[in-house]
């Protein structure tokens, strides 16, 4: 079977359970932003100077795929999705909170003024900053769904993206410090 199904040639795409929707739908924008974030984490993972950075990426990337599953679930079908997939949990946010504490304790907050992405000449730090901006965009697209009939009921999704952006900012600073 080819990846080129031609089903999207008219500007529509599939959500889970066979529901079709416009590629310009806000839910599809959120999905695309999270997919872009996941792709942006690849260079962070490859360029990482510290094994802990790779460890974080190795756990976060599959979590983002799970998060995309929740975003791809049409409203009203969350129970059907949850019957076969584990929903996003508070534990995932708490895990990121632990990394915030570790990175801050490890000196990631020792900087003066605004951070200038790429200034230190460390690719892993620059990639982490780029991924952070993709994460904030994904977060904004998910937040755009709040209060609408497309709202993702699991609030841990927004919390996870918010905390992940914090971790990525800290990782950028930490990777830069490790190079010096």
Considering the domain boundaries, does residue 25 fall inside one? Answer: yes
In CATH, what number is assigned to the domain containing residue 151?
A: 1.20.1200.10
Q: CA 172, 173, 178, 180 torsion: positive or negative?
A: positive
Would you say residue 68 lies in a domain? yes
Q: Tens digit of pLDDT for each residue in 118-132?
A: 777 899 999 999 999
Tell whether 175 is covered by a domain: yes
Mean pLDDT rounded to a whole number for the chain = 91
**CA–CA dist 163, 129 (Å, integer):** 14
Q: For the whole model, what pTM was predicted?
A: 0.92
What length is written for the chain?
A: 180
What total of structural domains would you count in the chain?
1
Determine the average pLDDT of the residues in 55-81: 95
In a domain, 2, yes or no: no
Whether residue 63 lies inside any domain: the answer is yes
DSSP-derived 3-state class of residue 14: strand
> Would 8 be classed as within a structural domain?
no
In angstroms, what CA-CA distances link 101 with 58, 71, 94, 110? 19, 29, 11, 14
Pairing relation of β-strands 12-14 and 20-22? antiparallel
Domain assignment present for residue 3? The answer is: no
Does the residue 42 lie in any domain? yes
Structure confidence by residue, pLDDT tens digits, 82-138: 999 988 899 999 999 999 999 988 876 766 667 778 777 899 999 999 999 999 999
Query: What residues make up the domain containing 68?
Result: 13-106+116-179
Residue 65's Cβ-count burial label (10 Å; 0-12, 13-18, 19+) is exposed
Three-state SS for 92-126 is HHHHHHHHHHHHHHCCCCCCCCCCCCCCCCCHHHH
């Amino acid at each position: 079977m080819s990846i080129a199904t031609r089903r999207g040639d008219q500007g529509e795409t599939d959500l889970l359970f066979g529901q079709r929707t416009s590629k310009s739908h806000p839910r599809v924008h959120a999905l695309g932003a999270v997919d872009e974030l996941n792709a942006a984490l690849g260079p962070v993972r490859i360029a990482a100077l510290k094994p802990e950075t790779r460890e974080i990426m190795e756990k976060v990337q599959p979590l983002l795929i799970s998060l995309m599953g929740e975003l791809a679930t049409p409203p009203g079908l969350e129970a059907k999705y949850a019957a076969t997939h584990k929903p996003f949990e508070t534990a995932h946010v708490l895990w990121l909170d632990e990394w915030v504490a570790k990175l801050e304790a490890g000196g990631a907050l020792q900087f003066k003024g605004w951070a200038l992405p790429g200034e230190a000449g460390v690719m892993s730090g620059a990639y982490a900053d780029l991924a952070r901006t993709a994460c904030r965009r994904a977060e904004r697209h998910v937040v755009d769904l709040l209060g609408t009939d497309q709202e993702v009921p699991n609030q841990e999704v927004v919390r996870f993206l918010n905390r992940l952006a914090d971790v990525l900012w800290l990782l950028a600073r930490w990777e830069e410090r490790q190079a010096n």
